[in-house]
Amino acid sequence: MKRPLFLVAPYLLGMAVLMAACAPDPLPSLVVEPVVTVLEVLPSALDLTVGNEGVARQVFVASAHFDDGTTTDVTSEMTWSIDDPRLGGFQGALFVAGGAAGGRGVIRAKWNAVVVSVPVSVKIQRSRTADGAPANAPSLFLAATEDPTRAPTIVYPVTGTIVPPNLGDFEVHWTDGSGNDLYELSLRSEYLDLRVYQRGIGGVTFGSFSGDE
C-alpha cells in the first residue's frame, strides 16, 4: 500500500528542479547619459574700453546645463576665438584687448559640437599731456566753459581729409588770434577717443597724435 509513495516523490522533486533551472535571468540595468540643453557663456555680451593703461581684460565662464537638472563648469574645456584678432585675443578663458584697434566683433565659444556667439565691442580712450603743458590740463578742460568765439582755426588737415589706418604720427596745425595758451586736440569716433593737451601761444601752432596712441 505504501509503494506508490516512492514512485511519486522522485517525480515531484524532478519537477521542482526543472522549474528552478528554467527561471529567467534578471534584466540588465540601463544607464541613460544626460543631454546638454544649454551651453551658457558669461558675460553674454562684452563692451571694453582700453585706456591709458594700454589693455583691457575680461574673464569668461562657461557652464553646460543638462536635461537632468545638473550643471557643470566646462570653462577649461572650451575653445575660444574672435573673428577680428585686431580687437584682442585669448589666453585660456581670458580675453585681452591690446588697443591695436577699436570696433565690433564676435567671440565664438565652442564646447564639443556646441558653439555660442558673444558680441564684443572695444573702444580706445586715451589722453596725453604734451611737454610744457600742465599736468592737470585734462581737469582744466573738464571744468571750462566752451566759448566758440575763442576757437582757433584749423589749418591742417582740411575738412574731408582721409587718413589711412596704418598712418603713424598725425599732425594738426592751427592758428589762434584769441590769446589762448592751452589746447585740447581730440580725435573722436564711435570707437575712438584720443586727446592731446598742448601748450601754444599765437601764430601757427601744431600738435601731434603719436602712432602708439
Q: What is the pLDDT of residue 178?
A: 85
Q: Yes or no: say if 190 and 121 are a contact pair by the CB < 8 Å rule.
A: no
Q: What is the pLDDT of residue 200?
A: 81
Spans of the chain, pLDDT less than 50: 1-20
| pLDDT tens track for 106-157 | 999 999 999 999 999 999 999 999 989 999 999 999 998 989 998 888 888 8
Q: Yes or no: say if 106 and 118 are a contact pair by the CB < 8 Å rule.
A: yes
pTM for this predicted structure: 0.75
Q: What is the pLDDT of residue 117?
A: 98
Which amino acid, 105? G
Q: What is the pLDDT of residue 116?
A: 98
Buried b (16+ CB within 10 A) or exposed e, 132-143: ebeeebbeebee
Separation of alpha carbons 172 and 168, rounded Å: 13
- Could you tell me where in the chain the CATH 2.60.40.3450 domains are found? 36-123
Tell me the backbone φ, ψ of residue 163, rounded to 5 degrees.
-105, 125
Q: What is the pLDDT of residue 68?
A: 93
Q: What is the pLDDT of residue 8?
A: 44
Paired residues of 41 in beta bridges: 62
Give me the CATH code for the 36-123 domain, please.
2.60.40.3450
In this structure, what C-alpha cell is assigned to residue 28? 540588465
- Residue 157 CA to its chain's centroid (Å): 35
Separation of alpha carbons 73 and 65, rounded Å: 9
Q: What is the pLDDT of residue 206?
A: 66
